[in-house]
Structure 1
Amino acid sequence: MAACLPLAVVLVALVAATGASAHGYSQTPSPTPAPAAKCDKVMLKVEGMVYCQSCTHRNSWCLDGATPLPGAKVTVTCRDAKNRVMESRTPVADGNGYFLAEFDVAEKADYYKGDPAKACFVRLLASPDRKCDDLTNVNYGIEGAPLRHEGKRWSGKGYENVVYAARPLSFKPDTCAPRGHY
């Protein structure tokens, strides 16, 4: 018998059953979405690359022709809310010159200005290659390279995992062949 009802009657019945008006709008307010859970704790990871600068670009910030420096050591230092050293790690670069420093879970508020990216920096420490062990300040490797957001973050276990990166750092050769003929 319901199959014989005119289409308008069926639509009115559906509208009445769902609480929508004839124009498709809901008569009852929709629930507001709950705000996303804000993690107050963070597990910080800092990554980067260490290179040996080519003699062609020695004493500049250019890394064209630079080669990865396996075994290079850097230090990653983070400051607390009072701008004191909070934690530090000394990662060693792998065979591709890549390093990763991992920190324990901490409150975001414990970091300087409540932001690990502002609280932490990376410095060159040591090179295993005696032919390429002079420090450079490329990307502030001597002064302290700032961290940048990489968009790598995920939540789990009651804290947020965040990966920051330092721009590429570099040692330079202590001696290079002369560029001109004498």
Structure 2
Amino acid sequence: MARGKFFLFLAASVFLVYNPTIHAWKDEGQVIHVGGKVMCQDCTQGWNEWVHGSRPIKGCKVSIMCMDKHRVVYHASDETDEEGEFELKVDKLIDGKELKAAGCLVRLVSSPDPQCNILTNFAGGQSGVNLGQPTHVFRDLVKYTLGPFYYTSPMCEEPDTSETPTQGRNY
């Protein structure tokens, strides 16, 4: 009887050690997940529709750039799906060194929608957002949820007021 329990314990141990599903789950702890949403806001609508009437944009490019002191150690991008959502996965180990999430900047890059392709800085989409505290930590899963980031229509673009009236213009 004791011999049978021993072999059962040994078989279970071998299964746990060599099960690829278990190892894939353990490897999740070596990845930083960054997700969010990209939406279109139409400034030509009334206030309520402008605030609550945004729609997701498919195919927007969002990038992540991670720095180690003064050099880029990682750069990647992702496109949004039909729901306007993106999901970036970053390995925590880059060239044998652990990546510090606080050195990563996520920002909007481009929108394929000609009706909604003007960058806004709502939630930091234009200037970029550094990763701070993770929004989800569960076992070995670390996730940062950002945004939503917004684009707006060309009609809503604000003129560049940094130029004084006499600079660069012939009157």
Q: TM-score range by the shorter chain?
A: 0.5 to 0.7
The residue correspondences of 1:43-122 to structure 2 (distance < 5 A) are 43-56=31-44, 63-80=51-68, 82-106=69-93, 110-111=98-99, 115-116=100-101, 118-122=102-106
Instruction: Provide the residue aligned with 2:23 in structure 1.
Output: none
1:57·1:63 contact (CA, 8 Å) conserved in 2?
no
Deviation at 1:83, TM superposition (A): 3.7
Larger Rg: 1
Instruction: Provide the residue aligned with 1:180 in structure 2.
Output: none
Deviation at 1:63, TM superposition (A): 4.4
Cα gap change, 1:51/1:84 in structure 2, threshold over 3 Å: closer, same or farther? same
Alignment equivalent of 1:135, drawn from 104, 113, 119: 119
Q: Does 1:171 align with 2:151?
A: yes
Structure 1, unpaired ranges of 5+:
1-40, 156-160, 177-182
2:61·2:110 contact (CA, 8 Å) conserved in 1?
yes
| SS state at 1:139 partner | helix
Cα gap change, 1:77/1:124 in structure 2, threshold over 3 Å: closer, same or farther? same
2:56·2:84 contact (CA, 8 Å) conserved in 1?
yes
Distance in 2 separating the partners of 1:144 and 1:57: 27
Deviation at 1:109, TM superposition (A): 5.9
Instruction: Provide the residue aligned with 2:164 in structure 1.
Output: none
**Could you tell me which amino acid in structure 1 is paired with residue 33 of structure 2?**
K
**Could you tell me which amino acid in structure 2 is paired with residue 167 of structure 1?**
G
| SS state at 2:139 partner | strand
Higher helix share: 2
The residue correspondences of 1:15-54 to structure 2 (distance < 5 A) are 42-54=30-42
| SS state at 2:123 partner | helix
Aligned length: 124
1:152·1:164 contact (CA, 8 Å) conserved in 2?
no
Instruction: Provide the residue aligned with 2:161 in structure 1.
Output: none
Q: TM-score, normalised by structure 1?
A: 0.59
**Could you tell me which amino acid in structure 2 is paired with residue 90 of structure 1?**
S
Equivalent pairs: percent with the same residue? Answer: 32
Distance in 2 separating the partners of 1:96 and 1:140: 20
Aligned-pair Cα RMSD in Å: 2.7
Deviation at 1:166, TM superposition (A): 1.5
Distance in 2 separating the partners of 1:88 and 1:75: 7
2:92·2:98 contact (CA, 8 Å) conserved in 1?
no
